[in-house]
């Protein structure tokens, strides 16, 4: 059996623990509330898919454009160097 002082100490410790839990729960609820307040501003899956599709289109377009510009420069340099070599 516990003495009265030990019982009282256990009760106080339990109350302090319950108070700590209540404070933590309140802090957690505040964090959840702040996250829930931001949720309407986040993009949906459909919006993200649309943005990814747009990005993919731009990337493919840029790659094709770079390929054609490199091919054009190579052909131009080929003919310029051909004329320069033939001239000597």
Q: Mapped to the 3 state alphabet, what secondary structure does 11-54 carry? A: HHHHHHHHHHHHHHHHHHHHHHHHHHHHHHHCCCHHHHHHHHHH
Cβ atoms 88, 80 nearer than 8 A: no
pLDDT in tens, 9-50: 877 777 778 777 888 888 888 888 988 888 888 888 999 999
Q: Report the percentage of the chain scoring pLDDT > 90.
A: 39
CA distance 48 to 56: 12
88 three-class SS: coil
């Amino acid at each position: 059996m516990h003495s009265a002082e030990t019982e009282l100490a256990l009760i106080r410790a339990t109350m302090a623990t319950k108070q700590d839990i209540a404070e933590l729960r309140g802090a957690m609820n505040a964090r959840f509330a702040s996250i829930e307040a931001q949720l309407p501003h986040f993009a949906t899956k459909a919006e993200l898919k649309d943005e990814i599709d747009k990005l993919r289109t731009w990337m493919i377009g840029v790659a094709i454009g770079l390929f054609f510009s490199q091919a054009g420069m190579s052909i131009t340099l080929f003919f310029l160097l051909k004329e320069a070599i033939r001239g000597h």
